[in-house]
A and B are shown apart, each in its own frame.
Chain A
Amino acid sequence: MSQVETQPMNATLVKGYGPGEAPTWDFYSKCIHCGLCLNACPTYRELGVEMDSPRGRIYQMIQVERGRLPLAKSFVEHIDLCLDCRSCETACPSGVEYGRLVEAARGQIEKYYRRPLLESALRKFFFHFLLPHRRRLEFAGRVLRFYQRSGLEALTRALLKPFPGRLADVARLAPRMERPFFTERLGTVVPAVGTRRHCVAFFAGCIANLSFARLNEATVRVLAQNGCEVVIPRDQGCCGALHVHAGIRDLARDLARRNLDAFLAEDFDAIITNAAGCGSVLKEYPLLFEKEQPEELERARAFSSRVKDVTEFLAGIEFNREMGAIKARATYQDPCHLSHAQRIRTAPRKLLAAVPGLELVELKESEICCGSAGVYNVAHNEMAERLLAGKMRRVDETGADLILTANPGCLLQLRAGVAGSKSRHRRVMHVVELLDEAYSLRSGHTA
């Protein structure tokens, strides 16, 4: 893939937005400043200030356009602190497409705001150097895996402990690298178990290939158990969700192009992902191409119309109900990018209701972000920790010993929550991992 260098121009704007995608009247004028979104916004709930509310963030975007507010530190801080969780979209009666607005605003920040040196270097390394490149990612994964298993990690943690600040907290969040990496499976086809009823493509992600290899394996097995022949296209890559959230739109577009090529080569019934964060961006690829060639926009639309979250896909077919019993008291946390961005709430619950023995207790405020939000928990660790603490209190109320969700990022975050809590026996699983377990219990061999 040719890497387009999206060098921030860093031209300091005098007033308003610069050329390129920006929040525009057509979209922000839908906001009638009614405030109905306030209590749905995790950052407003925590901080109680208008600047960190959806209504306030939109107002700030408007004031920047009008030249009343500079595209500078204050604006950037409040836009950065947004989780892009899209909870405000669910709450908004007026149909404001907040995700679109904030992502455009971040595009402007990326282009026209000069971040501090270290931050800017880290962003460059992570978003430009690492994520888009499978080889480099794998290499980094191997190094990290060695680090985690050799005892070095424990040592580092012990060393970090006496330091003030959040280094130790952040270090705790590094995903565990699994063995073998799922990258080995790219380019293979997994046959359906029994009659083949669907031919689907599996979107494997980028970091997920390394740190959620087992989840990916489980997803493929569950799909196969449901009559799917599962193709895992070799040339796929990072979906660009983190780039879109960070405002790095040109690079996101290039990553999207790579996936359009990889997945449009064949005519699949569906393109399936187990990551809600990836899924929501995959479904929104057309937004990246609105100002590009019409043919590309068409291709993006063709691609996106096929993308399905794994829970959405399974709940939409006559799914295999031959499952062994799993006796547990469970609760389900709605991933933001599933429930708000993709509006999928009943599908996972429908699947869970089919698992014999499982007692599902509804989690109050399950639609409020757990603080994971992509790399948010690293960049804004303090806010993320506050949200996680609130989440764990709600989990405690349910008395559940099994926490289910449907997005790798949330799994990481919730696991960190369990590890830091008194009830460390609680398991945290993806819905498909639970299905996988239920299927294997039925067919008698372990997963």
Chain B
Amino acid sequence: MKSFTRELIRLVGRDAVLWRPEDLMLYEYDGLSSLRQPDAVVLPTTTDHVVGIVKFAAREKVPVVARGAGTGLSGGAVTPEGGILIGFSRMKKILEIDLENQRARIQPGVVNLDLSLAVSDQGYFYAPDPSSQKACTIGGNVAENSGGPHTLAYGVTTNHVLGLEVVLPGGEVIHTGAAHWGRPGYDLTGLIVGSEGTLGIVTEITVRLMRKPEAVKTLLAVYDRVLDATRTVAAITARGITPAALEMMDGFTLRAVEDATHAGYPKDSAAVLLIEVEGLLENVEEESDQIEAVCREDHARDVRRAKSNEERELLWRGRKNAFGAIGRISPSYYVQDGVIPRTRLPEMLEFIAGVAEKYKLQIGNIFHAGDGNLHPLLMFDARDEAQHQRVLKAAREIMAKCAEMGGSITGEHGVGIEKNELMPLIFSPDDLDAMRKVKSVFNPAGEFNPAKLLPSGKMCGELRVQVSAGA
């Protein structure tokens, strides 16, 4: 055992430090890729632990990377330069629930869905709902500014975070935001949310809780042509209707999903839209009727409404398990996360089809269509290196197209180690420079989550994914 390890054990206890190679090996991957393993994994339970670890790391000049559940899809929770990985899997207490003021104070390791479960009996929920919500941590959500299907109505994580406790690289503990609105000065909370662990380590979060809506209606519109489905998306919003969620899956994806979950998606269709409206009972009925009319105008073959809560949950289960369902039919896949103006969806779909043909790949499409957030799923077999390279090229082309359309290279999965070299596609040198300056204020030595988010300038314009071996 190295003295390094001994010191960590002294700080947090023997049981909270992993240092054997056979254990560290299990921290070389996250939801995206597998890379170099950390030198040690530490599992703190208190902010004091984190402060101790961070100070120690600063003395030793080793990188520090935070990890929630490791469901991230941009390699954020792996340690490309080694160092100490701080895992939040044991820091998962709900510290305070204050329903009168609709807020909760939690530790960062609390699993997204567990928070909703804790307040559901009282009629509340935590709104940001990434498809990974049954496993991902709210700390990870904060770092990635995660969204989900209901982002359309509720916004992303940053809209639901009221305040943070953050440990800075020198071990200082700062408190940002407030439990209520109206705190003067810079919006540091907004700055930290989405910073992917490059500015500070989040050790406590105050979030907003929402009241469950009085009524929810879920519609499934079925199409024989993908193009018609994409037209509906623009048409619905053009009429001034804002659904709570507006999701699209193409035929290929929905067939995999149906085989996996038996949620009731018609397997012979070319695309479906999953649309949800919520609010007061009478409005919901009226909006559903309007939406149905729009769908039919755009040649929807069928528009079904979930008749029970079970049916609704089943449809959502299908949607939320979509990425995984692809795992059944393809040994590996690479999920992309681009954003475009939703009016250009039809054009983008054609483009993706062209890319698939050009690189001889199978690409499934699943979109948070309402936000114009695309998740093309590029399928391949990791054992086939040539195919893997084609996947990276294809993904790169799709990203460039998103940027060209005035969109973004990531909607919610973050930049991490995957896309940092693509940042110049959407930001000017001055933009990036401003970001670097911010980073240097918080994280001057660059020891917090190094080599991520901002371009290193070394591998210009490349996507970096090393898909985990054997999976």
Contacts and interface: CB of A to CB of B under 8 A. Distances in A.
B90 A48 contact: yes
A56 interface: yes
Given A29-B470, A91-B134, A34 B114 contact: no
A29 B114 contact: no
Given A28-B471, A74-B20, A35 B135 contact: yes
A144 interface: no
Contact of A69 (B25, B136, B260): B25
Contacts of A48: 43, 87, 89-90, 92, 109
A183 interface: no
B71 A34 contact: yes
A302 to B, nearest CB: 25
Given A48-B90, A49-B89, A56-B26, A95 B31 contact: no
Contacts of B471: 28-29, 31-33, 58-59, 62
Contacts of A44: 89
Interface of B: 18, 20, 22-23, 25-27, 29-31, 34, 43, 69-71, 87, 89-90, 92, 109, 111, 113-114, 117, 132, 134-136, 260-261, 320-328, 331-333, 468-471
Given A44-B89, A49-B18, A93-B260, A36 B71 contact: yes
B327 A59 contact: no
Contact of B331 (A29, A60, A69, A75): A29
Top 8 closest pairs, chain A to chain B, by CB:
A93-B324, A94-B327, A48-B89, A93-B321, A50-B26, A32-B327, A35-B71, A94-B324
Given A33-B471, A35-B30, 18 more contacts: A34-B71, A35-B69, A35-B132, A35-B135, A39-B69, A49-B23, A49-B26, A50-B26, A50-B27, A50-B70, A62-B469, A66-B470, A69-B22, A69-B25, A74-B20, A74-B22, A93-B323, A95-B324
B333 A32 contact: yes
Nearest to A61: B470
A51 to B, nearest CB: 5
B328 A39 contact: no
Interface in A18-63: 25, 28-40, 44, 48-51, 56, 58-60, 62-63
A360 to B, nearest CB: 16
Contacts of A38: 69-71, 135
A29 B328 CA distance: 9
A254 B23 CA distance: 37
Contacts of A56: 26
A59 B20 contact: no
Contacts of A58: 471
A364 interface: yes
A211 to B, nearest CB: 35
Nearest to B28: A59
Interface centre among B43, B70, B322 (most CB of A within 10 A): B70
A423 B160 CA distance: 40
Given A33-B468, A59-B26, A69-B25, A95 B134 contact: no
10 contacts: A29-B471, A34-B71, A39-B69, A39-B111, A44-B89, A50-B26, A62-B469, A68-B25, A94-B327, A95-B327
A186 B396 CA distance: 68
A436 B274 CA distance: 45
Contacts of A92: 324
Contacts of A30: 327-328, 331
Interface string A199-237: 000000000000000000000000000000000000000
B324 A36 contact: yes
Contacts of B25: 59, 63, 68-69
Given A35-B132, A69-B25, A74-B23, A28 B327 contact: no
Contacts of B136: 35
B26 A35 contact: no
Contacts of B332: 29, 32
A30 B381 CA distance: 11
Contact of A33 (B29, B261, B320): B29
Interface centre among B18, B22, B132 (most CB of A within 10 A): B22
Contacts of A50: 26-27, 70
Nearest to A34: B31
A75 B117 CA distance: 34
B44 to A, nearest CB: 11
A169 B83 CA distance: 41
Contact of A36 (B29, B134, B470): B134
Nearest to B88: A48
A95 B328 contact: yes
Interface string A56-97: 101110110010110000110000000000000001111110
Contacts of B134: 36, 39-40, 91
A32 B324 contact: yes
A364 B325 contact: no
Nearest to B73: A34
Nearest to B89: A48
A391 B154 CA distance: 34
Contacts of A91: 134-135
Contacts of B469: 62, 66
A59 B28 CA distance: 11
B42 to A, nearest CB: 11
Interface centre among A34, A56, A63 (most CB of B within 10 A): A34
